[in-house]
Structure 1
Amino acid sequence: MDRYQAMTTFVRVVETGSFSAAARQLNVGQPAVSKTIAQLENRLQVSLLIRSTHGLSPTEAGQRFFERAKVAIQEADEAELAARGAGAGLSGCLRVSAATTFARLHIVPLLPRFLADNPELEIDVILDDRVIDLVAEGVDLSLRMGTLADSAAVARKLATGGRSVLATPGYLARAGEPRTPAELAGHDVVIYSQTANVWALSRDGTETSVTVHGRVRVSAAEGLREAVLADMGLTIASDWMFAREIESGAVRRVLTDWSLPPIDLWAVFPAGRMMSAKARQFAAFVEQALAGHSGAA
């Protein structure tokens, strides 16, 4: 029995809570996972898992083994990287999740460079605007924007981006350009359903709020982009979302003497699970790539 593989399998079973979920993440059949755990328990002469109708959970001995195994696997990975040398690159599969539009515009274009530096690495990118369960989905690293709802999450801030009131020249030529926040109430607004329709802007330490209205409400950032680019109205968005269009002039910032709260980009790692060297290095790579970006502060 391969001890490293057995420990990895057991750790993944505990993290996911089932043989089937662990098998999917390990790209093996469920019988292979069950057999490995049985062999491990036989070798250790102790029961590691409690099986019930609600799933699997570690016994007291299993919990102790789980905690030590996580550390051992991480140290083994680090030892392998050290032996290979800094120039040898990473290997295996890295699973990354990120919001669809942000990833399409700013993460996917970076992948060729990262993969070229790590020729033995594969990257599985999960594009989803929802906050997903990282452990259940087997995700090594999630790139999330905004305020983190889970205070227990293991996270590191990678960048801060500006936010602006934006519109196309076509819409502004038709509807006029607002000169004050109060004038926003009379404009067509493309509303992102994940945000409120009360916008708060500040200038010189004074904050003002305005309730906006729009005939178009979208549930995904891709739809927001397309609606704005179709001259359907104003919106508030991160400068990351329209970075190319702002640079080319296809989209313009308005009310530029007023400011909006910035938005943070976070690297979020699965709580209670080992943080892989692959995930740490990719997070550092993204942080460096976004440094000095037009959308970052």
Structure 2
Amino acid sequence: MDRLQAMRIFVKVAETGGFAEAARRLNLSPPAVTRAVAALEAALGVRLLTRTTRIVKLTESGSRYLEDCRRILADLAEAEAAASGAYATPSGSLTVTAPVLFGRIYVLPLLTAYLSDHPAVDGRALFLDRVVNIVEEGIDVAVRIGPLADSGLSAIRCGSVRRVVCAAPSYLAAYGTPRRPEDLARHRIVVASQTERLEWRFGLDGATVVPLKPRLTSNVNEAAIAAAIEGWGLTGVLSYQVADALRDGRLQVVLEDHEPAPLPIHVVHVEGRGASAKVRSFVDFAVARLRANPLID
């Protein structure tokens, strides 16, 4: 049995949650994947996975072994990359994640520009409105908005964005401009949320909390912004999400003196014993471009 190949197969089964999906991604047959995991379990003398007709779950021993496999395979990849010169010349596959709207507006142009300059690198954009575990999900670089949790990741601050309340000039002309957070109770509110409890915070310390009773709720920011641009009500968003609409006058910021503290933007990556050339060069490229962007404070 090729132990390293078996470890790679086991890791992929654990990550995908199934033998068939792991086989598809590895371009192997499902029986070959099943045999490799069974041989690995036999060699170790422990059950790594619990199989049912519907799901595959890690055992306690399997969870510990998974982390060991990831570390061993990462060390091997690092050694091979160093030997082949990958730490000198950017090459290979680069996966970048960011929030959906920020990723589409700012990160995707960075990635395409970088790929144009580095033909030996292939890119993958993963835009999600959730915090991705970049170690477990095999992500090279993440762009994150908001305070960072303590971790062993390397993070470089490259700007910040404001949390703003805005409306179309036509709405403000018809319904008046709120001067204090409490005035929002008399206005139409449009929000993008999937939670039942809604509130906006104001003041640099966020101590002023205003409960909301929105007239219109959407599951995506684009819809809330579109409704605000149409003059239907006030919405609260991040400044980058409405930068174009603010610049051309379709929207106007209100309650600016009561805004909470800006949210930081960081470029995050796993450094390890030495980040590869593709990661180092993309991080340097992205940080410089983001810091130079006039729409990011």
TM-score by length of 2: 0.73
Secondary structure in structure 2 of the residue aligned to 1:261 = coil
- AA matched with 2:48: I
CA distance in structure 1 between the partners assigned to 2:166 and 2:81 by the alignment: 46
Alignment-derived partner of residue 201 in structure 1: 202
CA distance in structure 2 between the partners assigned to 1:88 and 1:174 by the alignment: 59
Alignment-derived partner of residue 52 in structure 1: 50
- Residues 189 and 233 in structure 1, CA contact (< 8 A), matched pair in contact too: yes
Secondary structure in structure 2 of the residue aligned to 1:291 = helix
CA distance in structure 2 between the partners assigned to 1:275 and 1:235 by the alignment: 44
**In the TM superposition, what whole-angstrom CA distance separates every residue of 1:112-144 from its partner, at most 9, and x where no partner exists?**
112123323333334443567778866555545
Alignment-derived partner of residue 289 in structure 1: 289
Q: Give the 3 Å change call, closer, same or farther, for CA 268–47 of structure 1 in structure 2.
A: farther
Alignment-derived partner of residue 31 in structure 2: 31
Alignment-derived partner of residue 226 in structure 1: 226
| CA RMSD between the two structures | 4.2
Secondary structure in structure 1 of the residue aligned to 2:240 = coil
**Higher mean displacement: 233-242 or 285-294:** 285-294
List runs of 5+ in structure 2 lacking aligned partners.
none
- Residues 90 and 281 in structure 2, CA contact (< 8 A), matched pair in contact too: no
- AA matched with 1:218: S
CA distance in structure 2 between the partners assigned to 1:22 and 1:269 by the alignment: 26
Q: Percent identity?
A: 32
**Higher mean displacement: 23-32 or 215-224:** 23-32
Alignment-derived partner of residue 111 in structure 2: 111
Q: Give the 3 Å change call, closer, same or farther, for CA 218–22 of structure 1 in structure 2.
A: same
- Residues 157 and 264 in structure 1, CA contact (< 8 A), matched pair in contact too: no
Secondary structure in structure 1 of the residue aligned to 2:258 = coil
Secondary structure in structure 2 of the residue aligned to 1:179 = coil
CA distance in structure 2 between the partners assigned to 1:215 and 1:284 by the alignment: 44
Which aligned pairs between 1:172-251 and structure 2 lie closer than 5 A? 172-194=172-194, 197-202=198-203, 207-251=207-251
**In the TM superposition, what whole-angstrom CA distance separates every residue of 1:50-90 from its partner, at most 9, and x where no partner exists?**
34335353685x77765554334323333444443556313
Q: Give the 3 Å change call, closer, same or farther, for CA 124–189 of structure 1 in structure 2.
A: same
Report the alpha carbon displacement of residue 91 of structure 1 after superposing the two structures with TM.
Answer: 0.6
List runs of 5+ in structure 1 lacking aligned partners.
none
- Residues 188 and 232 in structure 2, CA contact (< 8 A), matched pair in contact too: yes
Report the alpha carbon displacement of residue 238 of structure 1 after superposing the two structures with TM.
Answer: 0.9
- Residues 171 and 232 in structure 2, CA contact (< 8 A), matched pair in contact too: yes
Q: Give the 3 Å change call, closer, same or farther, for CA 28–176 of structure 1 in structure 2.
A: farther
**Higher mean displacement: 125-134 or 11-20:** 125-134
The answer to whether structure 1 residue 162 and structure 2 residue 162 are counterparts is: yes
Q: Give the 3 Å change call, closer, same or farther, for CA 52–179 of structure 1 in structure 2.
A: closer
Q: Give the 3 Å change call, closer, same or farther, for CA 130–75 of structure 1 in structure 2.
A: closer
Q: Give the 3 Å change call, closer, same or farther, for CA 215–118 of structure 1 in structure 2.
A: same
Total equivalences in the alignment: 289
